[in-house]
Amino acid sequence: MSGEVMPVAEAKLPVTDWGLTHSDITYDVAHVWEGRFFRLDDYLHRFEESVDKCRLDIKQSRDDIRQILHQIVARSGLQHAYVSFVASRGQPATPGSRDPRDCVNHFYAWCVPFVWVFTEEMVKRGVRIHIPQHLHRIGESSVDPTAKNYHWGDFTQGLIDARDAGFDNTVLIDAKGSVTEGPGFNIFMIVKGQVITPCSGVLRGITRKVTMEICAELGMDVIERDINLAELLSADEVFATTTGGGVIPITRINDRIFSNNVAGEQSLLLQNTYWKWHQNPTMSESINYSP
């Protein structure tokens, strides 16, 4: 923060930062696996696009951010890490101003040990997703889902409902009844060998992108289109994609159980291939941990 590397516990934001008070912020999350950043350029490119969409202006270039991310991971010594980088609106130069253009935008980044969106226990016994019908995803005409953001009011309520009902996580539908995404992950279904994923109201996830590339390599057709809840519940297999865990087979949504409550065969193939791709040096870059 402000050019200084420090322990996460010592990092601070002013209470009047608009990133805090207005959720006026964008960010991205890359990951380090076995001492290497995976697909870092994809994450940096999406971050730059998000910064532009949010009309934020930070002084760090892509090369600067790459260097900062390498620096903090190297300093931490983490071989498996969750690495977040953030652009915030900041504070108005004139106290009390309500004009976003008066704010001094700023960049910061942090890393912690690798974060699994779905725990090992969940994955082992089968991931269970709850999709409420009374709660809708924030409309994409109000908050652009392709600019990664902290607007989690809808997701937070969905997560509370899911946990209260005994599920692991949530996916939300939009006001039209189309399936969107979950907090930190995209959703896919497999129907008669075709892989289908929502195209509206979703972040263009990097793991989503990688999975679509894997499907192409394996000769599996991928379709991006709107999906309604009934279609999703009638699918042969369903899986999630996330930076925090890769390809995650889902065995239950609401009352519907998939693949006899075990991970689907094609979902497992995609999952295994995803982790194999981490061993491809053309898709990752090593971190220099030397002092």
Q: State residue 204's pLDDT score.
A: 97
pLDDT computed for residue 181 by the predictor: 98
- Do 180 and 224 touch, CB atoms closer than 8 A? no
Separation of alpha carbons 181 and 43, rounded Å? 19
For the chain, 291 residues long, give each residue's pLDDT as a single digit of tens.
Answer: 999 999 999 999 999 999 999 999 999 999 999 999 999 999 999 999 999 999 999 999 999 999 999 999 999 999 999 999 999 999 999 988 999 999 999 999 999 999 999 999 999 999 999 999 999 999 999 999 999 999 999 999 999 999 999 999 999 999 999 999 999 999 999 999 999 999 999 999 999 999 999 999 999 999 999 999 999 999 999 999 999 999 999 999 999 999 899 999 999 999 999 999 999 999 999 999 987
Write down the pLDDT at residue 273. 98
Spatial separation of the C-alpha atoms in residues 60 and 63, rounded to whole Å: 8
User: Which residues pair with residue 83 across a beta bridge?
Assistant: 30, 111
d(CA 197, CA 223): 6
Do 18 and 100 contact (CB within 8 A), yes or no? yes
Phi, psi of 87 (to 5 degrees): -120, 120
Burial class from Cβ neighbours inside 10 Å (0-12, 13-18, 19+) for residue 263 reads buried
Report the first-to-last Cα separation within the chain, whole angstroms.
Answer: 21
Name all domains of the chain by residue range, CATH numbers in brackets.
8-113 (3.30.470.10), 120-277 (3.20.10.10)
d(CA 249, CA 264): 7
Per-residue confidence (pLDDT) for residue 91, from 0 to 100 = 96
Side chain identity at residue 187, one-letter code:
I
Question: For 207-263, what is each residue's pLDDT tens digit?
Answer: 999 999 999 999 999 999 999 999 999 999 999 999 999 999 999 999 999 989 999
Cβ atoms 55, 71 nearer than 8 A = no
Dihedral pair phi/psi, residue 65, rounded to 5°: -65, -40
**Spatial separation of the C-alpha atoms in residues 159 and 131, rounded to whole Å:** 10
Instruction: Output the pLDDT for position 144.
Output: 96
Please state, in angstroms and rounded to a whole number, the distance separating the CA atoms of residues 50 and 56: 9
pLDDT at position 231? 97
**Chain-centroid distance, C-alpha 167:** 20
* Among 232, 115, 116, residue whose Cα is nearest residue 172: 232
Q: What does the pLDDT read at residue 95?
A: 87
- CA gap 245, 248 in Å, rounded: 7
